[in-house]
Structure 1
Amino acid sequence: MESEGVSLPLIHEHPMTPWNDLRKGDCCGRFKAISDGYYCKICDFFVHQKCGESSEYIKHPSHSIHPLQLRSNRGHNCNLCGKYIVNLFYRCEICDFDVDLYCTKYPPPEVIDISETHHHKLTLIKKRSEFDYEAKCGFPYKCHECDLAFHVDCVWNPSKEKHPSEVNHSYHPLHPLKLHVGQPPFYSDGTCRLCSRKIYDRLFYHCSACNFSLDMRCVLNPPPQSVMDLKVHDHQLIFRPRLDSFTCNACGLSGDRSPYICVHCDFMIHQECLTLPRLININRHDHRVSRTSVLGVVNSVCGVCRQKVDWTWGGYSCQKCPRYVVHSKCATRDDVWNGKELEGIPEETEDIEPYVVIDDNTIQHFSHKEHYMRFHVNGLFWEENKRCSACTHPICLQSFYGCIDCDFMLHQSCAKYPRKKWHVLHNDRLALVTSEDGVFWCDACVRISNGFMYKCGETELDVLCGSVSEPFVHPSHPHHPLYCIPSVEEKECNGCNNSESRVLTCIESGCGFFLCFNCATLPQVVKHRVEDHPLSLCYGEKASGKYWCDICEKETDPSKWFYTCKDHRASLHTKCVLGDFAGLMPRSTVNTVSRSFKVVLNNSVSRPFCRVCESHCMYPIVLKMLGISDLYICSFDCLRRFFGR
């Protein structure tokens, strides 16, 4: 019996009808014993009555520090149970914390006692990083005394019933499976037959006659026998629970067991590939990329790993850039994708242009709205105090924009940096912001700066590192472009010979060229008081004998990059030429180690005396402590020593 429409604006956009149904709720994704709810005929959308009456803001014991707000968009996982959120959930924007409706209504206990299975109490794990959240069988708990983690349904029965010693399972009808505790048998491969996950110190079931193992997750929540999802495939897919080598049509990678298959068209897919997102952003491309069953692009390489792509398999492609494709597994890596499904979410269209054009030679930049800026073809001066407010480097001979009313300046290249961009070192889009007289340490090159930065959350990149994009071409390696290929192993930088984990890599076979972000963004030409002419960056050389730096008067290693003068008779350490504070704007005031300092150019005839190393400061920029006369600090080492750190 139908009645008048009920308005639930927090839940759904259309009027809904009170309804009785035994279907899963589109609100929380669970079946309920009580089937009273509300139904939208327009969208075929059903919510349980209890879910439909949810408040807009709640306080929840799982996140007591802030209130949670009701939301209705997808693309999140619950921070408590790890399950993908179907529709409605509660969110804390401050902490990026999400809880689905089921966990909101029925929160798990903080501590449980499972003395029948484990002799210590278990504590609820609230951070996803501490446990495998791909599992489907309940909340994760941890024993801190034994340093072991369990899914609650694998080890605990609230009814105090023990797990049976034998079970009959639909995916192994030949023999019953026997309960095992601890390590898998030595003759097995130690993995679950259905999901291929490793079986570690936990409960599992095993058939010794068939060498068939199931972990507790697949015993309690086995994969469905068939799947019908037109977003995955046009026909019904059937689960095949056996050891079989195959190539997955979705990702192009091989599998060794239990695929879903289509008997009509020889389509095979990994279980985990069934849930591949349809539309996503990745940190290596400016546009969204969408999942496709056949890439159909010949002679292309993956935009992440830079390896050749077999166009006959599925992957991700960009609708705006026809030749840009990405392997499925590469596109959904944790260091590439932020985990957000964007299907059904409108694309952001805000203006990311950094300035407004006033006329052919005049702009108004977002960072300096109070005045207009005029274009100058090149800087006809080497004055150290004429500096770009974005990168903090001297203007030198580069084209620039200068304020018509004050001393604010920007290199032409720096003025063009977009207000938002994607970057290989962060999974969400970064915003270009001014430091507002504060200092920050760039996460890529670890330089201190008070210029502009690209920022998102805790990630902060100076504009030089933030502007690095793929392919990156550097004058030291002009024949091959460089790419940021994540690696567990550290690589030795060809510029400084230091080992770094974040490097730009040449992918040409046998080349072995790597650059850290610090070396990749060193200025090519600088001016220093020891030389009347500009100094050029030299990319190392093979030489015999000893070389000496004219600034510190210590030996240099010619295999490392150095600065040299016009006649190439000098080899100056890059640190001696630039110093530790090259990223700070002269005449600005900065706060660090809980003290205030004036940033001072070291360009006078008599160099200031460093209070710590007790020598005349040789670096071009030094710090002067405010409130104390003649207390200068010349380097980070001296700063740490002065404050006992």
Structure 2
Amino acid sequence: MDSDEGVSLPWIHKHLMVPWNDMRKGDCCGRFEAISAGYYCKSCDFFAHKKCGDEASESIQHPSHSIHPLWLQSIPHKNVCNLCGSKFVDIYYRCEICNFNVDLHCAKYPPPEVIDVSVTHPHKLTLFKKRITFDCDAKCGKRGDYEFAYKCHECDDISFHVDCVWNQLEVEHPLEVNHSYHSVHALKLLTGQPPEYSDGKCRLCGKKVDKVFYHCSSCNFTLDMCCVLNPPQQSLLDLRAHDHQLSLVPRLDSFTCNACGLKGDRSPYVCFQCDFKIHQDCLGLPRIINITRHDHRISRTSVLGVVGSVCGVCRKKVDWTYGGYSCQRCPGYVVHSKCATRQDVWNEKELEGVPEEIEDIEPYIVIDENTIQHFSHKEHYLRLNVNGVLYEVSKRCNACIHPIGLQSFYDCIDCDFVLHQNCAAHPKNRWHMLHSEQLTLVTNEVGFFQCGACLRMSNGFMYKFGDTKLDVRCISISEPFFHPSHPLHPLYYLSLDKDEICNGCNLEEPHVLRCIEDGCEFFLGFKCATLPQVVMIDGDLLSLCYGEEEGSGKYWCDICEKETNPETWFYKAHSAIFHKECVVGDFSGLMPRTTIEYLDRSFEVVLNDGTTRPFCKGCESRCIYPIILKLLGNSDTYFCSDKCIC
């Protein structure tokens, strides 16, 4: 009953309420309505839809529970509707005898057991009355979180929110609505394809409309169902985004977003005082984050202010007059807002207010100028040897498994533990371009692993997070990356939508480094990028060559005696040519004289440097590769490659 002071709705709320227009979710039924009329209690911030308030009664007889009446409850209680499976808190109908609950929406519109809504799905849908978690196929953007679903028994793995199916019916979507963002004319419900004269996108969010939407033909104004039921706020004050109040301008308007520097074509939030404009989805940009491309935290700033800079992710120029991310420790390091928050670059963790821990990432303690104690070998000290003359094949680095070669190295004073000087300096934790979380250096895992970048087998050191494992050769690649095969320009890792052909092996690779200079189509996979530049075989030093001009003649590999492709990489010593596969082999990442478990069998890793090469059990040829596997418990069973074992 109305009064001068307000409206009394005793079954809904204990206080007097005032008529109120709002598009927010109702505290009455927990849902959005296509109309804005309702009732509001200012003291409790409680909003009820007009339909829910006017039609509520103290008790009802409901066809879903005909044996007892259901009584309206207004005591907050976490419960679940027995008809649709959704959670509610404030108001619902309940049978105390049977512990049966129905929310206000289902009390008026109970979801049918079987429903046929062709705009949602071509087959009949059945209500699955068991609470599950699922991805809704109505493309509503929300995941079903432990609730009922409509499922299709003719199609595998098709599930819909109850609301997404039920909302397609006319009871939920009236033929016309008056919307606060288009008060001039009513919006009409349309199904199917948008009119040809429209761009087919929602005026507010810019997404392509689905099969059901609202449209004004006089103004060519379209809203998708999400923005009809849950429109963005007309004005807001968000100091994380801007110092002043922002207002949404719901019209087509070409603008440049001050937060990310990218173009927009509709409905920005605007500060008229500052001529500041921002995309709706840029309002929620995080303030402080870690990204895979940089070792330090980066912070969001409204003006980058670094003239002539390039983005640390996409390597394209940055307009310094717009917002982005910068590093407080590294002057000049900036990143586009959209690049910094890409899924493959950022782990979606906001670090504002989270204290930055000082990590112990140093891998060793300096004893004196030539002696260290490495955390992977704490029992003994390691002594520095400045190499440069002697190439030792039998002495291999425990981290990368490469021979010591011509590089400086640390060797143990008391045992045969060896580390290249560069490998000894790998930090305990580091960020890398191939994974969005910080990786940890692991040195003592039993067995072997497969590197996620180059797919090599290795039992050396690895960097790990969860199931992601990278060997120290691939983790050493950082940007900009310089490789002698492409001396003119540096290479960068750019996430691509498709595999690219590596210039080193002419094979498709999922992870590639590329040249970003215009017109320079050079790609390099991680496996080829980490090949050793010099290898010793039978006392000869072989150098990695990067192909020769087409038509330069035919060559045959001195190891396998098969023809080589002069356009791909190969190794060369004097006039002799070698396939890089023959020089390296499948097991170059395994340390000789260790044992591994592989395919339910135990193998010893053997250095194939004898005067007589053993026969391979798989291919029945003499083993040509430098490292092979020997089956334990059998004195003459050898395997030269991975495919020979499989």
TM-score (norm 2): 0.78
Residue aligning to 1:638? 644
CA distance in 1, matches of 2:321, 2:599: 57
Residue 283 of structure 2 aligns to a residue in which SS? helix
Match 1:534 to one of 525, 530, 541: 541
Residue aligning to 1:12? none
Deviation of 1:186 after TM superposition, in Å, equals: 3.4
Deviation of 1:138 after TM superposition, in Å, equals: 9.4
Is contact 1:114-1:155 (8 Å) kept?
no
Residue aligning to 2:65? none
| 1:79-111 residue CA offsets vs partner (Å, 9 max, x unmatched) | x99xxxxxxxxxxxxxxxxxxxxxxxxxxxxx9
Is contact 1:389-1:410 (8 Å) kept?
yes
| 1:367-425 residue CA offsets vs partner (Å, 9 max, x unmatched) | 11121111111176444321101001111221111111111110000000111111111
CA distance in 2, matches of 1:546, 1:250: 57
Match 2:125 to one of 87, 102, 120: 120
Deviation of 1:36 after TM superposition, in Å, equals: 10
Match 2:173 to one of 163, 183, 186: 163
Q: Give the direction of change, closer, same or farther, for the CA distance of 1:553–1:158 in structure 2 (3 Å limit).
A: closer
Equivalent positions of 1:268-307 (< 5 A) are 268-307=277-316
Higher mean displacement: 272-281 or 129-138: 129-138
Q: Does 1:349 align with 2:358?
A: yes
Give aligned pairs, total: 544
Is contact 1:293-1:314 (8 Å) kept?
yes
Matched-pair identity in %: 62
Residue 617 of structure 1 aligns to a residue in which SS? coil
Matched AA of 2:208: K
Deviation of 1:266 after TM superposition, in Å, equals: 0.7
CA distance in 2, matches of 1:239, 1:178: 23
Is contact 1:379-1:400 (8 Å) kept?
no
Residue 505 of structure 1 aligns to a residue in which SS? strand
Equivalent positions of 1:224-243 (< 5 A) are 224-243=233-252
Q: Give the direction of change, closer, same or farther, for the CA distance of 1:448–1:184 in structure 2 (3 Å limit).
A: same
Deviation of 1:541 after TM superposition, in Å, equals: 1.4
Q: Give the direction of change, closer, same or farther, for the CA distance of 1:132–1:598 in structure 2 (3 Å limit).
A: farther
Is contact 1:578-1:620 (8 Å) kept?
yes
Residue 368 of structure 1 aligns to a residue in which SS? coil
CA distance in 1, matches of 2:221, 2:518: 42
Q: Does 1:608 align with 2:602?
A: no
Residue aligning to 1:478? 487
Residue aligning to 2:565? 557
Is contact 2:594-2:604 (8 Å) kept?
yes
CA distance in 1, matches of 2:146, 2:174: 21
Matched AA of 2:543: S
Residue aligning to 1:57? none
Residue 296 of structure 2 aligns to a residue in which SS? coil
Residue aligning to 1:334? 343
Is contact 1:138-1:151 (8 Å) kept?
no
Deviation of 1:328 after TM superposition, in Å, equals: 0.7
CA distance in 2, matches of 1:428, 1:360: 34
Matched AA of 1:251: C
Q: Give the direction of change, closer, same or farther, for the CA distance of 1:492–1:173 in structure 2 (3 Å limit).
A: same
Residue aligning to 2:68? none
Q: Give the direction of change, closer, same or farther, for the CA distance of 1:239–1:445 in structure 2 (3 Å limit).
A: same
CA distance in 2, matches of 1:142, 1:534: 68
Match 1:497 to one of 495, 502, 506: 506
Residue aligning to 2:605? 599
Residue 535 of structure 1 aligns to a residue in which SS? strand
Is contact 1:488-1:501 (8 Å) kept?
no
CA distance in 1, matches of 2:236, 2:622: 75
Is contact 1:371-1:405 (8 Å) kept?
yes
Q: Give the direction of change, closer, same or farther, for the CA distance of 1:129–1:470 in structure 2 (3 Å limit).
A: farther
Match 1:581 to one of 576, 580, 587: 587
Residue 125 of structure 2 aligns to a residue in which SS? coil
Equivalent positions of 1:21-420 (< 5 A) are 115=115, 117=117, 119-121=124-126, 126=133, 143=151, 145=154, 152-156=162-166, 161-201=171-211, 203-378=212-387, 381-420=390-429
Is contact 1:315-1:325 (8 Å) kept?
yes
Higher mean displacement: 322-331 or 356-365: 356-365
Deviation of 1:153 after TM superposition, in Å, equals: 3.8
Aligned-residue Cα RMSD (Å) equals: 3.3
Is contact 2:384-2:410 (8 Å) kept?
yes
CA distance in 1, matches of 2:399, 2:552: 40
Q: Give the direction of change, closer, same or farther, for the CA distance of 1:579–1:398 in structure 2 (3 Å limit).
A: same
Matched AA of 1:577: V
Deviation of 1:180 after TM superposition, in Å, equals: 2.7
Deviation of 1:208 after TM superposition, in Å, equals: 2.5
Q: Does 1:617 align with 2:630?
A: no
Q: Give the direction of change, closer, same or farther, for the CA distance of 1:113–1:224 in structure 2 (3 Å limit).
A: farther
Deviation of 1:544 after TM superposition, in Å, equals: 2.0
Deviation of 1:434 after TM superposition, in Å, equals: 2.0
CA distance in 2, matches of 1:450, 1:436: 8
CA distance in 2, matches of 1:131, 1:292: 37
Q: Give the direction of change, closer, same or farther, for the CA distance of 1:160–1:214 in structure 2 (3 Å limit).
A: closer
Higher mean displacement: 130-139 or 462-471: 130-139
Match 1:590 to one of 590, 596, 600: 596
Is contact 1:137-1:220 (8 Å) kept?
no
Residue 582 of structure 2 aligns to a residue in which SS? helix
Q: Give the direction of change, closer, same or farther, for the CA distance of 1:483–1:142 in structure 2 (3 Å limit).
A: farther
CA distance in 2, matches of 1:155, 1:581: 56
Is contact 1:154-1:217 (8 Å) kept?
no
Please, which runs of 5 or more residues in structure 2 have no aligned partner?
A: 1-14, 18-23, 29-40, 46-74, 87-110
Is contact 1:295-1:311 (8 Å) kept?
yes
Q: Give the direction of change, closer, same or farther, for the CA distance of 1:330–1:125 in structure 2 (3 Å limit).
A: farther
Residue aligning to 1:424? 433
Is contact 1:278-1:290 (8 Å) kept?
yes
Match 1:571 to one of 566, 574, 577: 577
| 1:218-259 residue CA offsets vs partner (Å, 9 max, x unmatched) | 111100010101111111000111111111111111111111
Is contact 2:376-2:444 (8 Å) kept?
no
Residue 576 of structure 2 aligns to a residue in which SS? coil
CA distance in 2, matches of 1:132, 1:464: 42
Higher mean displacement: 425-434 or 505-514: 505-514
Is contact 2:432-2:439 (8 Å) kept?
yes
In our comparison, the structure showing a higher alpha carbon Rg is 2
Matched AA of 2:242: H
Residue 115 of structure 2 aligns to a residue in which SS? coil
Please, which runs of 5 or more residues in structure 1 have no aligned partner?
A: 1-19, 23-28, 38-48, 55-59, 62-79, 82-110, 641-645
Q: Does 1:513 align with 2:519?
A: no
Deviation of 1:31 after TM superposition, in Å, equals: 9.3
Deviation of 1:549 after TM superposition, in Å, equals: 0.4
Higher mean displacement: 620-629 or 331-340: 620-629
Deviation of 1:215 after TM superposition, in Å, equals: 1.3
CA distance in 2, matches of 1:232, 1:451: 47
Residue 414 of structure 1 aligns to a residue in which SS? helix
Higher mean displacement: 394-403 or 161-170: 161-170
